[in-house]
Chain A
Amino acid sequence: MKEPILKTEELTHIYSPGTPFEMTAVENVSIEIRKGEILGIIGHTGSGKSTLIQHLNALVKPSSGRVLLEGRDINESKDSVRDARAKVGLVFQYPEYQLFEETVYKDIAFGPKNMKLSEDEIDGRVRRAARFVGVEEELLDRSPFDLSGGQKRRVAIAGVIAMMPEVLVLDEPMAGLDPQGREEIMKNILAYHDETGAAIVIVTHSMDEAASYADRMIVLNHGRVAMEGAPEEVFSRGEELRGMGLATPVMTDVADKLRKLGVELPASVYTVEQMVSALTALERGRRGA
């Protein structure tokens, strides 16, 4: 098993404590993010996903519990906070709304500049990050506001990638994009993962998307960890997932129904590719018989 790079220990976060609006958003959550893995965090709206990830680079401080980056409490000193901000990159939902510079280049350079790197290093990182997300050189001098929605999203992601985080956390990176846009963004993220070996955490409520890329999944419900495991383990608990307001991947639904109709299928079928190979194997058996 890969070793963890980032962990939360019994993390609890309470908003507006001691007021009538007191709300426990995250309760007693202990999770780990392992080096180089792709982790999917799933949960319905209000399940605590966003609050949880804002703890991962000390944007929000725990009410109780700790967040450990390579074994060190990230909230222990100014220095540890700075270290966490550099190593753990956070891409928020609809990050394109946060672009603000005059040019694409300046927007991507904003993070590395704050890290007090040399001009040369910054330039190298900006160009590298732009390449990762498929933003062409000639766009770098344009205003980010002239770009299409999908391009803006990629520029915003490049701004975080330029900090070369060891853990890249993305909140609903594909929301609101068309199928092609979604596929491209996912390719960009995977390219960063494959080339740098960074851990990737993707927060989503799309089970079909999580099914296609995650090595491991964590399901949050009412601020607590409700399930944790490989996608096939999580998807085998379809009833529970639906009870939490989540959907199962459509292929899981097809597989469940097929089994009820007497067609025997292996337990872990949750993507179209897996279903195709399971059914073609059945077909070969049938023709052979």
Chain B
Amino acid sequence: MDETAIKIDNLTFFYNADEESGEAPEDVLAGVSLTIEAGSFVAVLGHNGSGKSTLARHLNALLLPKGGSVCVFGMDTRDEELTLEIRRRVGMVFQNPDNQIVSNVVEEDVAFAPENLGVPSEEIRKRVDEALKMVGMYEFRDHAPHLLSGGQKQRVAIAGVLAMRPKCVVFDEPTAMLDPQGRRDVMDIIEKLRREYGSTVILITHHMDEAARADRVVVMSDGRIVMDGAPRQIFSRVEELEELGLAVPGTVRLMWELRKKGMDVPLTALTADECAERLAEHFADR
């Protein structure tokens, strides 16, 4: 039987209103239910303010539900005694690598979290080396993090999370501040995590091409889940996505425009190669 990694049941959340204004706080999450199987790769899309980062912060008990519940590998995040155990299972990678780096030496930075979790020092050494190799930063282990590029820093931050050996990693817009090479490196690490460790990956992103690589895409709007399905299925709903302030991958947009002009081409081509092949077939077919 497939193990359930995350089970969210009717989750509601609001940030406490500032007392001066006296306004009632608005729900940032307004009844979210979502179950994620262990080992799956789920992308979460949504416009700014749709609640996706707030949702992410519930997955390792950085935020606690105001209503409903979040269970992580069977552990309820509201149970404070389980917080440490939950954070051991679910690692978080954030947007800005500068805010995630704490040490002056790369390998010390990666060792920071396992040290806090009380992992024995020999085991830490092993884990740090493995995590740094995993993200391709082993040869930088004695460098100073602040002298690295943004993409390299983000890889170090990811290594720091991997050194905790989490079963699930939540990436909250990990590539937003990176250049194309940095973005590719992060996406490659995600693939590797899945392939080699079978980790559960939850990726919050604005990049449709990144979401297209997931098994499942969840779309949020105004604190609710409004779409949930395979990338191919979700990206075929071009007009609905646009109404939500989202875009579709450029290749899907192209196919959609061509179909509007009466060309009989398939709608959902998720990569440049697939798109070109479908178009070539169309023009070869007489």
B149 touches A46 (CB 8 A): yes
Give the docked Cα–Cα distance between A74 and B139 (Å). Answer: 43
Nearest chain A residue, comparing its CB with the CB of B279: A258
User: How many of chain A's residues touch chain B, expressed as a range?
Assistant: 35 or more
Q: Is A117 an interface residue (CB 8 A)?
A: no
How distant is A226 from chain B, measured CB to nearest CB, in Å? 15
Q: Can you list 18 contacts pairing A with B, beta carbon distance less than 8 Å?
A: A45-B182, A149-B49, A175-B177, A176-B95, A176-B177, A178-B47, A181-B47, A208-B250, A250-B251, A254-B276, A257-B273, A258-B276, A260-B276, A261-B276, A263-B283, A276-B254, A280-B258, A280-B263
CB distance from A111 to the nearest CB of B (A): 26
Q: In the complex, what residue of chain B is closest to A253 when comparing beta carbons?
A: B272
- Would you call A134 an interface residue if the criterion is a C-beta within 8 Å of the partner chain's C-beta atoms? no
Shortest CB-to-CB span from B190 to chain A, Å, is 17
A262 at the interface (CB under 8 A from B): yes
Binding site for A on B (CB under 8 A): 46-49, 95, 149-151, 173, 176-182, 206, 209, 245-247, 249-251, 253-254, 257-258, 261, 263, 272-273, 275-277, 279-280, 283-284, 286
Give the CA-CA distance A100 to B115 in the complex, in Å. 38
Whether B179 pairs with A179 at a CB distance below 8 angstroms is: no
Residues of A near B250 (CB, < 8 A) are 208, 249-251, 272
Q: Which of A148, A176, A181, A283 contacts B263 (CB 8 A)?
A: A283
**Residue in chain B with minimal CB distance to A262:** B280
Q: Are A282 and B49 in contact (CB under 8 A)?
A: no
Q: Which 9 A-B pairs have the closest CB atoms?
A: A257-B276, A180-B245, A245-B181, A253-B272, A261-B280, A247-B180, A179-B247, A205-B179, A250-B250
In chain A, what residue has the closest Cβ to B206? A178
Contact A246 B47 (CB under 8 A): no
User: Within 8 Å CB of A251, what residues of B?
Assistant: 250, 254
Task: Please name all residues of chain B whose beta carbon is closer than 8 Å to the beta carbon of A257 when the two chains form the complex.
Answer: 272-273, 275-277
